[in-house]
Chain A
Amino acid sequence: MTRYIALRFLQAIISLLVVMTIVFMLSRLSGDPVQLLADISASEEQMEAIRRDLGLDRPLAVQWVNYVRDMLVFDLGESVTSRQPVRELIWQRLPNTLQLGFAAMAISIFIGLPIGIYAAVHRGSRLDGVARLFAVLGQSMPSFWLGVLLILIFAVILGVLPPGGKESPTSIILPAFSMGYLTTAAIMRLTRSSMLDVLNAEYIKLARIKGLSETKVIWKHALKNSLIPVITFSVVLFTLFLGAAVVTETVFSWPGLGSLILDGVRTRDYPLIQGGVVVFSAIYILANLLVDILYGYLDPRIRLA
């Protein structure tokens, strides 16, 4: 197991380095960042000063080495617009994104899991049909559109929830639901199919033949095993929230990392975009590492392979 974890850890570090290099290359291949950073009326001297400030006047290889070195000690540079350390800006916003992510995940599990179980147990029923429709809608509806719709209904028409910002505890409900609906549908579908597989297994039939109550069969024997793929999938889902956060946080004016990165794009804050993308990627890679380790722990065949 130790060797397996070490190997996965090494792979994660290599992945991170590759991502950092891609971010580095893309930001330079997409044109001269100085042209984007400088005001439309900036003179050549001002643009040269920006180039010097960002170290863009040095050879590319030197820039890359400096960039990786700084990233490894988590020195993400200074925001071009606010002059604040990017690391500090990210630390301020990351907790809000994580809160939103956890709330969205809680909603996904809270709604998706019971419906998935119910749909599996009552396969073919009218409610199962409704659940599948719910899942299809959830997976086909863009979250930004759903967000605007939720604002219109619950904030503007009904006036029961705030339309945006982070003003009160209830502010999180609409963005979390908007972000969580997609994954709610995914969890529901996964739970349903996994549960159906398990309910058809021989050991469940045996349990029923033995005369165990249906509640005991479902809760003690079926659910436990059917949840394994759901739990591991949930970790991956959480990383999806990070991507979805850019849109959702913007629509709901939620002060998280996603909206910070989008701000960086709007203001052409090159170090901020770079830092934000690397942090997102690092979280994604770490989450996948966690899933790999979890899989290896739960299923010895994987680590032996």
Chain B
Amino acid sequence: MRFTGVKALIPLLLALALALVAACGGAAATSAPAPTTAPQPTAAPTQAPAPQATATAMPSAPTSAPAAGGSTPAATARPQPTATAAPAPAASHTPTGELRVAMATFGNERWLPGASAGAEATAFHSILENLLTRNPETGDNIGELAEFWEIRDGGLTWEFRLREGPQWHNGNGPVTADDVQFSFERYAAENSSNARAGVFRKIGGYRIVDSQTIIVDFNEPEILFGGDLNSGIPGTQYIYPKNYIEQVGDETADVEPVASGPYRLVNHDRGVRIDFEAVPGHWKLTPAFANMSFLKTVENSTRVAQLRAGSVDIIGIGVDFANELKAGGVQIKSVPGFATVGITLGGQWATKETYDPSVPWAQPDAEKALKVRQALALAIDKEAVVDVALGGLGRANVSLPFYFQGEPWTLPEFEPIGYDPDEARRLLAEAGHEGCWEFTINLVPWPGRAFLPAVGEAVATQWEANLGCRITRRPLDRAVFATDFRERTYPGVAVPYAMPFVGREPWQLLRLNSHIDGPVMLAYEDRTFSDYLDELGATADFDRRVILMQEMGRHMYSQLPRIELAEVFGIFGIGENVKTWATAPGNGFIHNTAYVNLNWAPPGQPVTLAE
């Protein structure tokens, strides 16, 4: 009998099929992670905030431009009588379905105050609440847990009065002033890895007036403290339950968190997913979705595929993927003001061995150096950079970091430098350079800013084409470059770097990354400049700060060894299930997910389902 392969192979095929099914079945059987079950939510009725709460919020800055967290401390809110606790308003809808969010990182996934460094805010914000939050429409600070607040003595004293409605999920009573003090002390602790630990360490003492009122006394003026408490960037300083954490201990609280937000934790599979469910009758809002899951998907392409396949509803992604999203027909939600991108010109850190006073853009003749920098700026078609490297999701509207057009501190003379290669060559010649020179540009994909090498490449190409520069590209991993960057010893002279939004006023970021006495110097090493930053930090009066920022801008414009290119938008990919989503200006990280498909309203006012 002639052997017939297929027939003879049937037993083997069956055996192997069984083996495969067993393997897959095994996967299914163990796929359910050991749930980290949070304590059951309280059945106690939640209470509505006082209706006058929003009326006592701090007034907006004297500008119509979007304001960021903490930018309006000059104004003071007058404390009002404590509101009478009232039942939560009946929800206009019942939460249904599930919202699924995919993101690249959950951070270190720790639920203790002071243990998380920042990236956790995205997932955490769904269950935790802050004293303040930001109005998505204006960017101004408004009360969240705090009903009202007041800044006194030029920033030395801050008083907060809490709403009476918010309750901890485990039935451990209302959110109190003790919880606030406990959380702040944890943020200030020596082992705190919180990004704003330094600010909390300036607190000299606390005064608990009553269970809902706390006065915070600083050792030195801290005029923008509100910006550290507003759920923005880097305002991830949430309020945690003192009694619960002290009762169960850090080890348990770190894996079984209790919070006060509109969702509560039901499962945390570390490094994989976090699942939440809506809290019925929550004081602030009733979410549109009954369940919400955050999935960790490190690979960008996979997140895009998940969205396109309908597996998730929201993805966090960078502008470097904008073109791919557009090509795939994915809906993009953009957030202006996420960062400003520019080229930092090196060789001029006066306190470092790498200091080179002869670099063309920082030679002793300040006038010639300025012409060189202007020439380099004029030789770049910034609109083209936005189109090519940022997928069109940015604006070439800056000449200094976060000095956006229309802001009160942006003088007409700070208008963006256009594109004029002829003028660039003329200026270069005027500065005494027959042609361009040879230098290196470092191309480093910074976390969350993977577009930077593309920006650097686009700039280098244009400098070569328009000025005849001879440029060596140096692609580097961030981890490898970090040491050089920190020490300011990096070879080569130019590096594209995007400064992220931390607050509306430009000095808020520059104080963190470019103060001459600070731990890190990313933009500008200069005593005069640092003096401006110090003075701004101690000036409670907004109008006076505007004048100081204008003066500082003039100084930067003539001296700053950096060419600002564009404002970068933060972007998210969103699926068909997402109809509305109120996000705060400048916040390019996933936030306010509890508000998806709801009509946004200030905390304390009825939040309704979007049509």
Q: Could you tell me which A residues sit within 8 Å of B by CB distance? A: 31-32, 35-36, 39-44, 81-84, 89, 92-93, 95-96, 99-100, 102-103, 105-107, 109-110, 113-114, 117-118, 121-122, 148, 151-152, 155-156, 159, 162-173, 176, 213-215, 217-219, 250-253, 255, 259-260, 262-263, 266-268
Contact = CB atoms under 8 A, between A and B. Distances in A.
Contact of B5 (A39, A92, A117, A268): A117
B483 interface: yes
A143 B84 CA distance: 63
Interface string B1-40: 1110110110011001101101111111011000000000
B311 A162 contact: yes
Given A96-B30, A251-B299, 11 more contacts: A41-B520, A44-B519, A110-B20, A114-B16, A121-B3, A148-B301, A151-B305, A167-B31, A171-B31, A176-B24, A213-B3
B298 A35 contact: no
A83 B114 CA distance: 13
B108 A113 contact: no
Q: Chain A's interface: helix, strand, loop or mixed, by majority?
A: helix
B433 interface: no
Interface stretch (B47-55, B174-182, B266-274): B266-274
Q: Among B5, B270, B480, B520, which residue has the most Cβ atoms of chain A within 10 A?
A: B5
Nearest to A83: B110
Interface string B92-114: 00000000000001011110000
B512 interface: yes
Given A162-B309, A253-B297, A113 B12 contact: yes
B306 A164 contact: yes
Interface in B282-339: 295-299, 301-302, 305-306, 308-311, 328
B390 interface: no
Nearest to B30: A95
B16 A41 contact: no
A171 B28 CA distance: 9
A163 B306 contact: yes
A90 to B, nearest CB: 12
A113 B16 contact: yes
B513 interface: yes
A225 to B, nearest CB: 16
B27 A163 contact: no
B16 A110 contact: yes
Contact of B26 (A102, A121, A156): A102
B44 interface: no
A170 B21 CA distance: 10
B486 interface: yes
A214 B298 contact: no
B218 interface: no
Nearest to A162: B311
Contacts of A217: 3
Interface residues of B, number: 61
Nearest to B521: A41
Nearest to B23: A103
Nearest to A166: B31
Query: A-B pairs with the 7 shortest C-beta distances?
Result: A214-B3, A169-B28, A110-B16, A103-B23, A81-B108, A106-B20, A35-B483
Contacts of B5: 117-118, 121-122
Contacts of A266: 105, 298
B23 A214 contact: no
B115 interface: yes
B486 A106 contact: no
A277 to B, nearest CB: 16
B19 A250 contact: no
B16 A109 contact: yes
A259 B19 CA distance: 25
B13 A114 contact: yes
Nearest to A31: B483
A110 B19 contact: yes
A155 B305 CA distance: 7
B26 A99 contact: yes
